[in-house]
Amino acid sequence: MNPEKQLMNRSARLSLWMRFGQPLEPVLERYTEIFDGWQAGGVRGVALGRLYFTSSAGRPVSIPAFTPNPLVYRDLGVEPPAPPAEDLPEKRRKLHAALGDAKRRGFEIYVFCPSAGAGPGGSGHPLVDERTLAAEAARIRDVMEQFPEVDGGILDGPEFGYEIAPGHRSNIFQDLPEGLRPLAHRLGIDFDAVAAARDRFQKRLQSLRPSDIDLHGAGGLLGGHLLFGHDPGLAAWLAFRRDALMDYFRRLRTALRTISRPVRMGLSSRTACFAPLNGYDFAEVHRHYDFHLPKHYFYHRGFDGLYGTVGRALQTLTAWNPGLSDDRAMRVVESLFGIRMPWVRSRFDLDLGFPPEFFEGVVVTETRRALAAAPDPSRVVPWIDAGREPHDGDPVPAGDLYRILEAAASAGLQRFLYHSHTHLTESEWAVISRLCGESWLDGKPGYAPPDGIPWESMTRRGLT
């Protein structure tokens, strides 16, 4: 098939959502021009927020964009959050005007993290404490009822970890606190047994022999079971993570039924290969939520990127097991996550970027796994992040972004969510618009991507 014709056929299957927020003001100041450009480039939905303004003193993302309605919180038996320190009426006016304009254009509008700024909950673990869940649900309901322009919300967490690096914020060996014991009891699970299995698993990863890896490293499910210690408690530990997390999201969805109008709720997760460790069951997500947003973040270093997680795992395993080669450690990683990356046999290989096999071997597979759980492909909307510092990670050039999107489209993907407008570069917009709408090229009048510093990098640098 002619490459240009093939591109056109694929682009018809890709619809674009764009996130803006953190901060909101750069879009609100000239939303008409920006929305014109987005609409031409193929944007069909927006992920808005978090819903915070910059203060009059210049502190970004610090003032809630609305005053809480105490009746909503009273109805759910919780205390409302404190009102904003400033009203900022002109910013509120612009926000509602921008949302009205987006709605007239036919954009779907979803609030990212609509529970942000929830009032006080209980003192228990967030997955267990009913008062904390009620406070989250009340905040989401308040947002949905105060912003009738929006179609719903996108939830982002909580979740269990998937990293093994000591001290990492998503460390799997540090996310089973005592506060989860009541939940384990309610689910009929022996908390002490799963905690012990977790500890044995960590010790196993710290005492790997090359011969064990050579024997079992490519042995599939049963080989992996032997590689990780032939421990029946390991399956119970993973099952508890899944049951605990899905129980929370089921209860939250039930609590959201008090919202006074129909809304659509989406649930974010890590990409499919990390899901079993995270506790996500993609099929179960679709039973309770209207769409699913797996994070197809593939960059190296930073946080949340697939290459970065693989690199940290290699570093950790070789540090725990002196004399273990990167090559053998990579076979452990592949067994743990259920991925195949034969082009990576050392940490240095990760610094060489994405070879052609990556797009067919990882992007296509991760996309197909997400789509396999969905009743309809339109209900899968992966987050995509690229650019110069995606989530504080290494650059992902526009050519690789193009190949990621093409590979995902070839696997059946219909739409995706780009994160985010704030640091969108011109080369990325040229790629995205070509795949999703009218091609944009340098010098085209009107909208031009801002190419700003990502919020994560600004935070790390102390610029906020």
Question: Is the CB of residue 324 less than 8 Å from the CB of residue 217?
Answer: no
- Helix, strand or coil, per DSSP, at residue 208: coil
Residue 455, pLDDT > 80, answer no
Q: Return the percentage of the chain with pLDDT > 90, whole number.
A: 92
Other CB atoms within a 10 A radius of the CB of residue 376 amount to: 10
Other CB atoms within a 10 A radius of the CB of residue 211 amount to: 9
Reading the block at residue 454, the tokens are 């990502």
Other CB atoms within a 10 A radius of the CB of residue 134 amount to: 23
- From the list 95, 80, 105, the residue with the least C-alpha distance to 148 is 95
Residue 2, pLDDT > 70, answer no
Confidence of residue 148 (pLDDT cuts 50, 70, 90): very high
Residue 157, pLDDT > 80, answer yes
Query: What is the DSSP annotation of 219-254?
Result: SHHHHHHHHTTS-HHHHHHHHHHHHHHHHHHHHHHH
Output the pLDDT for position 87: 95
Average pLDDT, the chain: 94
What is the rounded distance in angstroms from the CA atom of residue 75 to the CA atom of residue 83?
18
Model confidence over 111-122: pLDDT tens digits?
999 999 999 999
Reading the block at residue 357, the tokens are 């096999």
Q: What are phi and psi of 279, to 5 degrees?
A: 105, 5
- From the list 358, 418, 353, 431, the residue with the least C-alpha distance to 390 is 418
- Helix, strand or coil, per DSSP, at residue 368: helix
Residue 170 makes CB contacts below 8 A (sequence gap 6+) with 159, 161, 162, 163, 303
Model confidence over 214-259: pLDDT tens digits?
999 888 888 898 999 999 999 999 999 999 999 999 999 999 999 9
Question: Is the CB of residue 359 less than 8 Å from the CB of residue 341?
Answer: no
Residue 37, pLDDT > 60, answer yes
What domains, with CATH codes, occur in the chain? 3-162+249-305+358-461 (3.20.20.80)
Residue 457, pLDDT > 90, answer no
pTM of the shown model: 0.95
Other CB atoms within a 10 A radius of the CB of residue 33 amount to: 14
Strands 63-64 and 52-53: antiparallel
SS3 content of the chain, % helix, strand, coil (to 5): 50, 10, 40
Output the pLDDT for position 221: 81
Question: Is the CB of residue 119 less than 8 Å from the CB of residue 138?
Answer: yes
